[in-house]
Amino acid sequence: MQNEEFVELVKSSISENGLNKIPGDDLIKIYKQAKSIEASSNIPDDELTKVINTLLEEINKRGLSPDSKLQDNNFKIIDSNEDSSFKQNEAIRMSKWIYIIAIPIIVMSIVLIINKSFYSEVPKEPTLDLLGYYNKYKDFYGDIPLEDVAKDAFTRGEYYKMYPNFEAWVKDTGIASVIQEDKDRRSPSLSDKFKEFKIPFPFRFDEESIDGYLFRFDRLTRTVEFRRSLGDNKYQWEPKPYYRNLQHVRDHRARIYRDRQIRAIENQTSAIEEQREAMDETNKIRHNSHDDYMRQSKERQLQDNVEDIKNILEAERRDRRSREMNR
């Protein structure tokens, strides 16, 4: 049945002039397969003979010689069949050995897992109050890790005489969990790691000098930082969490400057009023002269100027409050 389908396929290729598209090696294989079918058939087939002749003409046209390679290919087919049967037998034998070895290993693994689940070691309660020991001598140790405190206690208490090493003493006293909790607490958070990473992406910081001080906004952590001088051309950036952004810094510094101006004007006004009261007392004794009139005129002019400034500042304050309420 397969031979008939093969012959029909070759016929259709010849009728459609599809032999030109078949590579030379494949064409030789088709020719040899057709010859093999013809040799194995007891009944002569004229159509198959025509197909074989057409294939041979195409092979000769391309300058190929199929006969010289026929015997080699037959040997290759036989060898490949023998190799495939040998590989199949080897695969069957290997699979048997794999089953023989793998099944005991799987059984032992299951037993170990069940053993571990039923007889898992319960975490030991600490027999040494390491945290209490640290709090008792906190002034001496300062802010050092509990692991260093434990090492010092291991040496001072001469526990090294009873244990082979520090790790064995930690395991026996059950303080490993306390030390690990202290390590986890001291490990830097994700935001701290971002801050230590100076250049995570371009244009991270937006710097601006505001009222004589240098501020910057960190676009990554969304925080405002202030540059503090440490002397000897050394600086340190300090976070200012109460500022939302640089605009907030500008508004705050402007408000401080306006408040200072208002206080200065109020102090000046108070001094002028005290001076005027003193002059009024003096004028009660003096005669109403032209000089007194000019002096009083200047005082009134100064007072009017002060009132105008106060009104302007009060209007600015009202306008600022209105803008802040509208945000």
Could you tell me the CA-to-CA distances from 14 to 49, 70, 309 in Å, in that order? Answer: 13, 22, 108
Residue 281 clears pLDDT 70, i.e. is over it:
yes
Residue 190 has pLDDT above 90, yes or no: no
**pLDDT of the residue at 148:** 92
Q: In percent, how much of the chain has pLDDT > 90? A: 9
Of 26-40, 72-86, 219-233, 240-254, the least confident = 72-86
Answering whether pTM is above 0.75, one says no
**Residues 230-251 as b or e (16 or more Cβ within 10 Å = b):** eeeeeeeeeeeeebeebeebeb
User: What percentage of the chain exceeds 70 in pLDDT?
Assistant: 68
pLDDT for 65 beyond 50: yes
Half-sphere CA count of 99, side-chain side, radius 13 A: 6
Tell me which of 126 and 79 has the higher pLDDT: 126
pLDDT of residue 82: 45
Stretch 10-33: mean pLDDT: 74
Mean pLDDT across the chain: 76
pLDDT score at 322: 80
Q: Is the pLDDT of residue 165 over 90?
A: yes
Instruction: Give the pLDDT confidence score for residue 287 in this predicted structure.
Output: 59
Has residue 198 got a pLDDT over 60? no
**CA 192 → CA 186, 203, 228, 244, 297, distances in Å?**
11, 19, 20, 19, 66
Average pLDDT over residues 62-78: 55
pLDDT band of 38, cuts 50, 70, 90: confident
Interval 235-249: pLDDT, tens: 889 898 888 899 999
The pLDDT, as a whole number, for residue 295 is 77
The side-by-side arrangement of strands in the sheet containing 213-218 is: 205-210, 213-218, 223-231, 234-239
- Phi/psi at 231 (5° precision): 85, 160
Provide mean pLDDT across the span 24-52: 78
